[in-house]
Amino acid sequence: MQEFRPENYHPDSDLWEEGEKKSAFKTPIFELVSVPKVSPDKTISGNFFKVESKDWVNVIALTQDENVILIDQYRHGMHSYCLEIPGGIAEKNSILESAQAELREETGFVSDDWEYLGKVSANPAFMNNWCHTYIARNVYPHPGGQDLDESEQIEVYQYPLNKIPEILEKNILHHAMVVAAFGLFFLKYGEKKK
């Protein structure tokens, strides 16, 4: 076993050779493609599948009194309601514009104070996209309220920031990208106790 040295880590070097990708299945939100690949030492080759999608955005929206804006919506994959933070596919001209649009559309709140927190890969074993997280501070209601997609029904809540670790621990907040977003947040800012 070797000692890991971050300064010597280069994830984009000595990559597998890729052939021409072929679409296997396409939907409005992702495309399943197959790609022939060969390992650098030529000992492994085969057809590998991956899901291609646009990047995603998440927003940790904070009120002036340190409450987090949470949303609750039905999720078809789990056949259950899911408590989350605002987010979605990055479809605007920039990641920030996409985050601002998701906050406004899903919650009816806006902010003039945005901070990029970081990104995580959704599942690099078979997905090609990133999920970016922003903090929106001092959010306030937009006069137009929510602007939901025709297939969305979203309830909006606020919850104290200092109590978020409790609902993470109880798996009330369990969406992996939401958990990752709060992980980035608490790594940078720590847990605030009141």
Share of the chain above pLDDT 90, in %: 92
**The pLDDT value given to residue 194:** 46
Round to whole Å and give the CA distance between 163 and 70: 13
64-111 pLDDT tens trace: 999 999 999 999 999 999 999 999 999 999 999 999 999 999 999 999
What range does the domain containing 104 cover?
A: 56-189
27-45 pLDDT tens trace: 999 999 999 999 999 999 9
Number of domains composing the chain: 2
CATH number where 89 lies: 3.90.79.10
135-171 pLDDT tens trace: 999 999 999 888 888 888 999 999 999 999 999 999 9
Q: Is the pLDDT of residue 123 over 60?
A: yes
Pairing of strands 109-110, 130-137: unpaired
Any domain includes 64? yes
Any domain includes 1? no
Residue 48 sits in the same domain as residue 124: no
Round to whole Å and give the CA distance between 193 and 182: 15
Longest Cα–Cα distance in the chain: 61
| pTM of this structure | 0.92
